[in-house]
Amino acid sequence: MKIEVYSDIACPWCYIGKRRLNDALADYDRREEVEVVFRSFQLDPNAPDEPRPLHEELARKFGASVDEMLQNVTTAGENEGIDFDWKSALSVNTLTAHRLLRLALHEYGAETQAKLLDRLFAAHFSLGLDIADHTTLTDLAVEAGLERARVEEYLQSGEGEGETRTELEAARQLGVQSVPTFVLEGRYAIQGAHPAPVLLKAIGELADRIEEDSTNGNA
């Protein structure tokens, strides 16, 4: 069974949702049959190319309620072992990072893509790094198992940008409006960073439905 996860590196609930999905699948008795692939989505395609303080950007957008909102996310993150540092985090366009995730998937595989995404989330939300900077992205990619020379060539050339933009548009055409969204076998969607037990139950029920549909010739 393939689970496609639509997410954005700039989305804290996607970070939390990835951790919760990992926990859910750890308890799934058919885990070896599951492939998890991450698909690109941008919450703000018009985010700046030059980094700005994330807290200031969020305060402009949400006003006085921003700190309460962030505290709720921080608490949820702490429960998943995530340390959000809102004061150091930077707001920046995530297109280049999504391009890099595409490279990781297509040339190195889903497991390497997942490792890279973990590093991108941590760099963005916990370490205050600029995830549009080519040097930073290259170092993170190498840590995840990609080859430095290939990554440097890829980022400098603009390779994969058209394909990534096409995938972003495909997500919108599919009807993805919020992330994370988990799509099973291209047919059933689970929206939101639900707790691991809720995700596990939903995945199990949908997997049974997919198997039943296949048996009945409705695939």
Which of 56-60, 150-154, 168-172, 207-211 is predicted with the least confidence, judged by mean pLDDT? 207-211
Q: Give dist(CA 192, CA 14) in Å, integer.
A: 8
For strand 181-184 and strand 90-91, is the pairing parallel, antiparallel, or unpaired? unpaired
Question: What is the per-residue pLDDT across 5-43, written as a single tens digit (0 to 9) for each?
Answer: 999 999 999 999 999 999 999 999 999 999 999 999 999
> Domains in the chain, please, with CATH?
2-215 (3.40.30.10)
Whole-angstrom Cα distance, residue 8 to residue 41? 5
Q: Decide: 113 and 38 in contact? Cβ < 8 Å.
A: yes
- Residues 91 and 188: their CA atoms lie apart, in Å, by 32
208 vs 166: CA distance, rounded Å:
32
Q: Is 150 helix (H, G, I), strand (E, B) or coil?
A: helix
Is there a contact between 27 and 204 (Cβ–Cβ < 8 Å)? no
Q: What is the pLDDT of residues 77-116, one digit of tens each?
A: 999 999 999 999 999 999 999 999 999 999 999 999 999 9
